[in-house]
Structure 1
């Protein structure tokens, strides 16, 4: 039975059915983050990330097990942490994980707010584009709000530039438009990125009082209309789809 690479449950399965978190916690400090609640820890503790015990040994063992089973689903890095948070600059665990997955002919799906930090591994992703996906989370066009809500994540402009570079290297790209804080900014983000994004994944905002300030029915209609205008491929998550 795998220990680091795991089957996701509930809403998480809409993004990826397999995932791995190499770190416990995340240094980005995003105020909307659900992960502290999910792993039952305080926000202060969560924002002081650390490497999980024996993580790379267990990760490689899991990868071999999945290879031997003929696994073809992509493995997401990551759900409850960020694979390119500042700590990864020191440890480079994400690079090691990508190499292990590719060596075992397993697919990797990156989801990050790390921006330029993630470009370090574009050589690996572009070497095996058939086994690689690169995605970033985009929330704000207003940098003042980004600094307030996502204080130690990469600036939005930097994330967009990294996304564009990945696309130019032939890597499959996607954008997670979730959480949605200000619907008008989310729509602007589509305008800014649609030319180099292979897939948009659109959700809403949960577990935050800001969610009650948004007309989700109107947003859903507006975001679908815009994505269709650009002939973009997209996925509407269930929690938004119901409106």
Structure 2
């Protein structure tokens, strides 16, 4: 079922970075809502979703004036200090509607003109490769973070059936890397995976972040509990993976194929990289 799409006029587009993302001066969400509708998304338990009559994943609001706002708000924010932006914290900037709107592309074009000191671009969509021409212009002032929470399509279809296929995401990471665009794989949140997962990641990236529900949902796992995710694990015979120590097993496997300084855990992997001066 296609989500309902509405166009809205936003009052502002940059939001002060707080909580899990306090390492950034601002967050930027070009859309409200997300058509990927992943079952484990912590945004489901936030006011933007709770106060909406439609289910998460069934609606998307397009912030039609986002580009004009960012051109005005970045210079204003810069007067108060360095500007580092996390895009996006409560939506995916490359969800399906972006094929039509080109809103995220317009924001990138605007940020090339009014450049932030650093841009962290978080997505799970291979559509990000469409904008390689723009991403290259940010040079070392950007990091693209591609969510790859498992290597098993059967698992993805249980937890995130509307999200892009895993192999397409791995291919996108490889393509970005081949163009010298800073990129990482975000195994976040970790889902059940095969023993070959670390090797598959090593083929396409030299940087990754490992996170799980308990560290990364902003509430110590409480939001995830409220979503009933444990039941999904149980119903599919995967309950052993719903454990606070499960990530350590995968971390050990990753350490066998990645240098220690290439593996980041939870929040540190979403901070501006060292050397970005943010």
For the aligned pair, the TM-score class normalised by the smaller chain equals: 0.7 to 0.9
Alpha-carbon distance in 2 for matches of 1:30, 1:219? 20
Quickly say closer, same or farther: Cα 1:69–1:197, change in 2 above 3 A.
farther
SS in 1 for 2:133: helix
Which residue does the alignment assign to 1:160? 170
Contiguous gaps of at least 5 residues in structure 1: 239-243
CA contact (8 A) 2:12 2:69 kept: yes
1:30–1:149: 8 Å Cα contact kept in structure 2?
yes
2:121 counterpart of 1:110: yes
Give 1:237's aligned residue. 266
Give yes or no for contact 1:4–1:59 (8 Å, CA) kept in 2: yes
Q: How far did 1:69 drift? A: 4.0
Superposed, which structure 2 residues align to 1:61-210 within 5 Å? 61-73=72-84, 75-106=85-116, 107-115=118-126, 117-182=127-192, 184-185=193-194, 188-205=196-213, 206=221, 207=224, 208-209=229-230, 210=233
Number of positions where the alignment pairs a residue of Structure 1 with one of Structure 2:
232
Partner of 2:7: none
For the 8 Å contact 1:98–1:108, the answer to whether it is kept is no
SS at match of 1:135: strand
The 2-side partners of 1:52 and 1:29 are apart by 19
TM-score (norm 2): 0.74
Shift >6 Å, 4+ stretches: none
Bigger fraction of residues in helix: 1
Q: Cα RMSD (Å) of the superposition?
A: 2.6
Task: Compare 48-57 and 79-88 and name the one that shifted more.
Answer: 48-57
- Match among 17, 34, 42 for residue 26 of structure 1: 34
Higher RCO structure (Cα 8 Å, ≥6 apart): 2
TM-score, normalised on structure 1?
0.84
